[in-house]
Amino acid sequence: MTDTGAERYTIGIIGGTGKEGKGLAYRWAKAGHTIIIGSRQAEKAQAAASDVNLMLAKQDVVSGLENEKAAIRADIVVLTVPFGVHVDMCELLKPYVRGKIFIDVTVPLVPPKVAKVQMPPEGSAAQQAQAILGDDVQVVSAFQNISYEHLIHDDEVACDVLVCGPKEAREKVIGLVKDAGLVGWSGGVIENSVVVEGLTSVLIGLNKQFGVQDAGIRITGLPRS
């Protein structure tokens, strides 16, 4: 675990109109970050932002813009989209994320067999993003194993987040995990994301087996501050 202090960022959540994106927006806005939700249509982004502001019981804390504008204005860009549009979204965002940290929350789920691990040729969704975006973008993989049901409530979450990517960017993202009220651990280099992303299919299988929606993982045997 890492304590990165109280630095605040403008975070653009692309695909933030979905449940996972709104959950992260809610938690980070509560921690004092400036949040911009991105969508292909500005109206949808603004509607999602209004939903999060309502959850926060505040006005105009979270804003909504088209994807490209959200990425331009953000210090850190977060991608929370279905795997089916992952390549297209990375190619769309490429001109707007140079020199930035790019947090990829995407999991390579291929319906209908979403409980089966199915990785892309690059090795993982995060590696696929890195290949498209180029070396001047710091791609970090995180939040794949956290159910949105945990994010939209204020209860303590008994699940941990594994973070994979370049060391400096990885440490900053672990700080953002902490800001979201979760415990983050370094999962090492981006190549290790294949394990983290694959775990999501395992968790989906467990959810189906036990009739729940929020199975997660927790690291044991290490000191927890």
Flag whether the pTM goes above 0.85: yes
Quote the tokens at residue 167: 């060391």
Domain residues for 97?
A: 10-210
- Do the domain assignments include residue 215? no
In 3D space, the residue among 181, 106, 169 whose CA is nearest the CA of residue 140 turns out to be 169
CATH number of the domain where residue 203 is located: 3.40.50.720
The number of folded domains in the chain is: 1
Model confidence over 76-133: pLDDT tens digits? 999 999 999 999 999 999 999 999 999 999 999 999 999 999 999 999 999 999 999 9
pLDDT recorded at residue 4: 42
Q: Is residue 74 over pLDDT 60?
A: yes
Instruction: Judge whether 225 lies within some domain.
Output: no
Tell me the DSSP string of 128-147.
HHHHHH-TTSEEEE--TT--
pLDDT tens digits along 12-36: 999 989 999 999 999 999 999 999 9
Q: 166-202: per-residue pLDDT in tens?
A: 999 999 999 999 999 999 999 999 999 999 999 999 9
Cα 154–chain centre separation: 18
Q: For residue 6, what pLDDT is reported?
A: 66
Instruction: Dig out the tokens for 38 from the structure.
Output: 């991105």
| Residue 219: inside a domain | no
Amino acid in the structure at residue 31:
A
